[in-house]
Structure 1
Amino acid sequence: MTEEEPEANKPIEGTVIEVELPSIENSRRADSAVESSHGKKKGMILPFEPHSITFDEIVYSVDMPQEMKQQGAQDKLVLLNGVSGAFRPRVLTALMGISGAGKTTLLDVLAGRKTGGYIEGSIKISGFPKRQETFARISGYCEQNDIHSPRVTVYESLLYSAWLRLPSSIDSNTRLMFIEEVMELVELNRVRNSLVGLPGVNGLSTEQRKRLTIAVELVANPSIIFMDEPTSGLDARAAAIVMRTVRNTVDTGRTVVCTIHQPSIDIFEAFDESIEGVSKIKDGYNPATWMLEVTTTAQELNLGVDFADLYKSSDLYR
């Protein structure tokens, strides 16, 4: 899976962005408004339009280093070759593969984060050709490395993100109420006033930082969210907590795509979709091993199908 790449926005030297943050009194009013509205409304206070993302025959290549060319290598190195697929709202999709398989590369191409190389193929958002300048407004990206300011609290991190990224047409109280909803969704209320701190030194645990990364993207109210190995570096319990947050995000109606490496069976079962006829994973079996076994040519021969043809004749492909 891959996508077009926009030029990175270059910062203007000497420019200061001034952000007006709400007063503590306004924040408290919003808190009480949220409390009084709990149990009465479904979904989230800020609406969003669900979007699907489809890609067809994506090819991503980069220039081969000059030294390699001099040794007779081809001019371009192909990293993604003819990748097709579709991601839909309310469906949690996993991109699985060994290290170096191209999971993050595909994610970056689809998200428009590749600023070098050559991208070919078609990427569409709900049937319309993808334009990066508008796609950036409806999408979020959670990187594998969680980067946050260590000297602010969890609540302040979300506050800054919301005030910088939400449209100016949304009033302060609505923003504050939305932040409260997001904190409840990712289960960060208990540490709302805790300093983020430095990874492995003080502040939030690795698992809490992962959930904060997801929350910082969610307060921008995206329709599509890409997550690069959200369970990387976590033990089984912490990974399960993070995946519960991811599942909660999907249940709001958003399109969520995760790269994942060597998942536990509990994490693996959090994802959607299956192919009819393929045997279910056995209890205690390694999901990555199972995935490799059921996608072999031998498995296709046993079922009498071609997985690529099966996809191209599916409702998802149409």
Structure 2
Amino acid sequence: MSPATETDVAKPTSESLDVEKDAGSDYAHLTNQSVHSFCWEDITVTVKDRQTKQPLEILSNVNGTVKAGEMLALMGPSGSGKTTLLNVLAHRATNSSAKESIYLNGVATHLKDFRKLSSFVEQEDALVGSLTVRETLDFAARLSLPSFVTKSERIARIEVLMAAFGLTGQRSTLIGTPIRKGVSGGQKRRVSVASQLITAPKILFLDEPTSGLDSAASYEVMKFVRDIAKKHRILVIASIHQPSTTTFELFDKLLLLSRGKATYNGPVADVRDYFASLGHDMPFYTNPAEYIIQLVNTDFAAVQGKPTDLTRLHAAWERSTNAAAIAAEIQDCKSNISPLSPDFVHQSANPFLLPVTLMHRSFIKSYRDLVAYGIRIAMYIGLAIMMGTVWLRLSPTQSNINAFTNAIFFGGAFMSFMAVAYIPAYLEDLQLYTKERANGLYGPTAFMIANFFIGIPYLFLITILFSIIAYWLSNMRNSAEGFWVWVMWLFLDLLAAESLVVLLASLIPIFVVALAATAFANGLWMCVNGFMVQPETLNVFWRYVFHYIDYQAYVFRGMMVNEFGGRSYSCEKLADGGCYCMYPSSLQDQCMIDGKAVLESYGYGTGNVGKYVGYMLVITFGYRLFGWLVLYLKKH
């Protein structure tokens, strides 16, 4: 289905209006009846300057207030502190030097309850591109709504939100992936906002909601937000960069920052008169948002030859009657105490069902999104065909023993190495997890459990497809037992390799760096796994520090035992009728080599297979545990 344009959905259709009307009391879940004021006082954030190593204030004594149904715009030039302020207000600041006094209904806020009363829409649309609009909202509801909300109530909320945001006509359209076109940019932003309104938050934070949109799409998105905020008394705080005049006028209040200090804080309608009183008359037919941003922007002042006296603007604001009015509003906010009832704080979803919901979402993504597993499956099949035709139908002779050994090394090591192809899909999942964790939906435990179990069937499918082609074409040990033991080791190899990818990509969530780190780690494991240098002769440092924790070493060992532990190979017959056997064994008088003699040259025995399988499981679990620890310790 092709995506509709912005104009196609500018107004709710008659169908969507009917849905809203039919929803009746279900629509009331959006209405805020508990939070009437949100204010903050003297917010100051200090960091250490990278050059001077001295304390640097990026926010200095910033005040503000928002009432139910109002929209506040945070504006300022780059580096003014608006994103930092938004994060502090949303309780997302990780800076320990932040000084904050934030009040909700006159009561100091607490992180746990505040996260349940508010929602945050990221600047980037962290959405699953292979889901439809309706599926996106449905999974948002299942991850956030408490268990007592019935399926019919959940569906009603979704239908109401699609109607309210003009998305009913796009309900079955994909969000969009790099290889499959989906909804437009403006519709994506509406989906992002709508997904955060599922839980009926009282306060909505928007980080650059119009980023990447043209002026028409920006206006349309913000108008939808404004209409929802007015109708349902939701408090909206948005950081926004140079909106158009029509978009700017949708806001009720403006907090204008420059170098971490307020230069204006009050009604949008009074902006023109305030700056005119300071001698800065706005020309007619000028976008007021652009004018005031240029007025307080000092980045290019020297080039323009018109330096702006920010000190004078800051001082003028502090002395203004507008500043006094804001101070009075804050005192009124603090004195008008109305503690929140526990009934107004929505409960979380059932934590035991969260991994199941995440696995369901990942399952849909994986079979629709070719990048996740489809391309990897094709890549592994190609590798299997290449391996099978290079080592084609090797005969069991001593001259092919090295070829069999090389094939075993190649099959295990390069299958492991190619797990790097999972990095892009995992980073996409990680970005979505980061957003949803920051909104308090679930933590690293549910994410890691779902990520592990959803990968198992696909990795097993890859293992089977690769083995069916490569194992029999290469003429490995011709038995069902040999085949299934090979499958077991290769499957454990892929489980460990993908777990390593999860650990490294969680630690360094940058594609190029994660790719380099994973490639380096696999190169290290290949070097010390016992193929390049046999374990008994391996350098003491590499052997005791890395060889015994190298999962590829156990895969190589297991596959070698599987091939050579139950097979014999013919020796070279000499002209005098005798035999020349490279590996002396009990079968030498029969002009044969017992494969166990090959294993002895590597220091391998045929027993303790279960022990080595256990080592593989411990290593895989260790990677996942450390990956979980990395995600747990990261603050969002």
Report if TM-score (shorter chain) is over 0.5.
yes
3-state DSSP of counterpart to 1:179: helix
The reply on whether 1:38 has 2:18 as its aligned counterpart is no
Q: CA deviation at 1:62?
A: 2.7
Higher strand share: 1
Q: CA deviation at 1:44?
A: 2.8
Q: CA deviation at 1:261?
A: 1.0
Given candidates 323, 333, 337, the residue that maps to 1:308 is 323
Q: CA deviation at 1:262?
A: 1.0
Which residue in 1 is equivalent to 2:38? 53
Which residue in 2 is equivalent to 1:17? none
Written as runs of structure 1 = structure 2, the 5 A alignment for 1:127-146 is 127-146=106-125
- Quick one: structure 1 residues 224 and 158, their matched pair in 2 at CA, closer, same or farther if it must change by over 3 Å? same
Q: CA deviation at 1:96?
A: 1.0
Contact 1:44 1:178 in 2 (8 A): no
Given candidates 258, 262, 268, the residue that maps to 2:248 is 268
Which residue in 2 is equivalent to 1:284? 285
Which residue in 2 is equivalent to 1:111? 90
- Quick one: structure 1 residues 170 and 124, their matched pair in 2 at CA, closer, same or farther if it must change by over 3 Å? same
Q: CA deviation at 1:64?
A: 4.4
Q: CA deviation at 1:269?
A: 0.8
Q: CA deviation at 1:42?
A: 9.3
- Quick one: structure 1 residues 316 and 185, their matched pair in 2 at CA, closer, same or farther if it must change by over 3 Å? farther
Which residue in 1 is equivalent to 2:69? 90
Which residue in 2 is equivalent to 1:178? 157
Which residue in 2 is equivalent to 1:231? 210
1:228-252 Cα offsets, whole Å, 9 max, x none, are 1111111111111111111122122
Which residue in 2 is equivalent to 1:19? none
Contact 1:85 1:317 in 2 (8 A): no
Contact 1:265 1:284 in 2 (8 A): no
CA–CA distance in structure 1, aligned partners of residues 282 and 152 of structure 2: 48
CA–CA distance in structure 2, aligned partners of residues 129 and 305 of structure 1: 27
1:188-244 Cα offsets, whole Å, 9 max, x none, are 111011011126962121111111110110112100000011111111111111111
CA–CA distance in structure 1, aligned partners of residues 180 and 283 of structure 2: 40
Contact 2:219 2:246 in 1 (8 A): yes
Q: Which runs of 5+ in 2 are unaligned?
A: 1-14, 254-266, 297-308, 333-636
- Quick one: structure 1 residues 262 and 37, their matched pair in 2 at CA, closer, same or farther if it must change by over 3 Å? closer
State the AA in 1 paired with 2:324: D
The reply on whether 1:221 has 2:200 as its aligned counterpart is yes
- Quick one: structure 1 residues 167 and 52, their matched pair in 2 at CA, closer, same or farther if it must change by over 3 Å? farther
CA–CA distance in structure 2, aligned partners of residues 199 and 288 of structure 1: 34
3-state DSSP of counterpart to 2:98: strand
Q: CA deviation at 1:305?
A: 3.7
Greater Cα radius of gyration, structure 1 or 2: 2
Which residue in 2 is equivalent to 1:209? 188
- Quick one: structure 1 residues 298 and 317, their matched pair in 2 at CA, closer, same or farther if it must change by over 3 Å? same
Contact 2:119 2:196 in 1 (8 A): yes
3-state DSSP of counterpart to 1:60: strand
3-state DSSP of counterpart to 1:98: coil
3-state DSSP of counterpart to 1:177: helix
Contact 1:45 1:177 in 2 (8 A): no
Query: Normalising by the residue count of structure 2, what TM-score does the alignment of the two structures yield?
Result: 0.40
1:108-128 Cα offsets, whole Å, 9 max, x none, are 111111223322131111111
Q: Which runs of 5+ in 1 are unaligned?
A: 1-30
1:126-150 Cα offsets, whole Å, 9 max, x none, are 1111100110001000111111111
Contact 2:26 2:153 in 1 (8 A): no
State the AA in 1 paired with 2:28: M
CA–CA distance in structure 1, aligned partners of residues 197 and 331 of structure 2: 28
Higher helix share: 2
1:74-98 Cα offsets, whole Å, 9 max, x none, are 1x33211111111211111111111
Contact 1:123 1:129 in 2 (8 A): yes
CA–CA distance in structure 2, aligned partners of residues 205 and 166 of structure 1: 27
CA–CA distance in structure 1, aligned partners of residues 47 and 226 of structure 2: 35
Q: CA deviation at 1:299?
A: 11
State the AA in 2 paired with 1:285: T
The reply on whether 1:258 has 2:238 as its aligned counterpart is yes
Tell which has more relative contact order, 1 or 2 (C-alpha 8 A, sep 6+): 1
CA–CA distance in structure 1, aligned partners of residues 43 and 20 of structure 2: 49
Q: How many residues align?
A: 279
State the AA in 2 paired with 1:248: D
- Quick one: structure 1 residues 298 and 53, their matched pair in 2 at CA, closer, same or farther if it must change by over 3 Å? closer
Question: What is the root-mean-square deviation in Å for CA atoms of aligned residues?
Answer: 3.2
CA–CA distance in structure 2, aligned partners of residues 123 and 162 of structure 1: 29
Contact 2:41 2:64 in 1 (8 A): yes
- Quick one: structure 1 residues 46 and 228, their matched pair in 2 at CA, closer, same or farther if it must change by over 3 Å? closer
